[in-house]
Chains A and B, each alone.
Chain A
Amino acid sequence: MEKSLPMTLTADSPRPIFRETARRGTEGSVELKIPVDRLETALNWVMSQPGIAPELSNAIVGTLWLMQVDAFRQQEEEGMLSNKYDAMLNDHRPFLADLIANGETLIWAAKKSGMVSPPLKFTIEDLEATLNSLHATFRAEHGPKNSQKTNELIAQLFDGQKP
């Protein structure tokens, strides 16, 4: 029987983001939630078949990774909406670091071996932009913060003042 898997970030659910994913539906399509471990099992089986080209494997892994990133963003926003976001932050950090590490490996592999054009039509540059957006989130949420003075001076830039 399929395990019932949690969708919320709690200490009891060590890797929930990788357990279930949601694909943002395009206009008129049905949004589909798929347990990621089932999807991963199927994809790993496909990719373990002899003779599968690395270019194809990279496109498949890229598609799955982008779905995981979308699910992660969705979970962040659901946390914000339910006022649970701050309580999720201890878990947010390792999940985000994991997503970043997977993205780094994927992009390294795609640059090394290439990637076929997937149905979603994303390129290696699109994967890099997605990875950079995750890095930006990590820095802003978990990285070093600007000093108060720096923030005041940046605020002045938006008010049209020169430094």
Chain B
Amino acid sequence: MARNPEVEQILEAWWQLDHIAPHERAKSEKQLNGLLDKVVVRGAQIYTREQILDYLWPQYRDYRLAKKKNEQVGVAQAALKK
């Protein structure tokens, strides 16, 4: 099942923060927090960024796994081309 596009955006921003080059991490964190704050505001600030991340955690683990699998497929394909 396709994910909600907003969830997808947050998962990608979270993944970027964990994987981007060190000198881009502050910028990447701002981007993630900006996306989370939109949800916080929509929820009348009842929920915190941390609670939203906690809600998304199982999906984030799946997202990381899928990215890792794709990375491995890419490596295997590149090796086959050589």
Q: Which of B18, B21, B23, B25 has the most CB of A within 10 A?
A: B25
Interface of A is mostly: helix
On chain B, the residues within 8 Å of A123 by CB distance are 23, 26
- Interface size bracket, A side: 35 or more
A120 near B23 (CB under 8 angstroms)?
yes
What bracket does the count of chain B residues touching chain A fall in? 35 or more
Known: A81-B69, A128-B26. A73 touches B57 (CB 8 A): no
Give Cα A121–Cα B26 distance, bound, in whole angstroms: 12
Q: Which of A40-48, A106-114, A153-161 participates in binding chain B?
A: A153-161
B6 touches A122 (CB 8 A): no
B25 touches A150 (CB 8 A): no
A67 to chain B, nearest CB (A): 9
B contact face: mostly helix, strand, loop, or mixed: helix
Task: Decide: A162 and B42 in contact? CB cutoff 8 A.
Answer: yes
Contacts of A78 in B (CB 8 A): 68
* Contact flag A129-B68 (CB < 8 Å), given A80-B61, A154-B55, A158-B4: no
Least distance between B34 CB and chain A CB atoms (Å): 13
CB neighbours (8 Å) of A73 from chain B are: 18-19
A146 on interface, CB distance cutoff 8 Å:
yes
One digit per residue, 1 when the CB lies within 8 angstroms of any chain A CB and 0 when it does not, for chain B 28-65 equals 11000000000100111011001111110100110011
**Is A151 an interface position by the 8 A CB rule?**
yes
By a CB distance below 8 angstroms, the chain A residues around B4 are: 158-159
Q: Which chain A residues have a beta carbon within 8 Å of chain B's beta carbons? A: 24, 26, 66, 73, 76-78, 80-81, 85, 120-123, 125-130, 132-133, 136-137, 139-141, 143, 145-146, 150-151, 153-155, 157-159, 162-163
Interface set of B (CB-CB < 8 Å, partner A): 4, 6-7, 14, 17-19, 21-26, 28-29, 39, 42-44, 46-47, 50-55, 57, 60-61, 64-65, 68-69, 72
**A-B pairs with beta carbons under 8 Å apart, 18 shown:** A66-B22, A77-B65, A80-B61, A120-B23, A122-B22, A126-B23, A126-B25, A130-B25, A133-B18, A133-B25, A139-B53, A140-B60, A145-B54, A151-B55, A153-B47, A154-B47, A157-B39, A159-B4
Task: List 7 extra interface pairs beyond A24-B19, A77-B68, A146-B51, CB under 8 A.
Answer: A77-B64, A80-B65, A80-B68, A122-B23, A126-B23, A140-B60, A153-B47
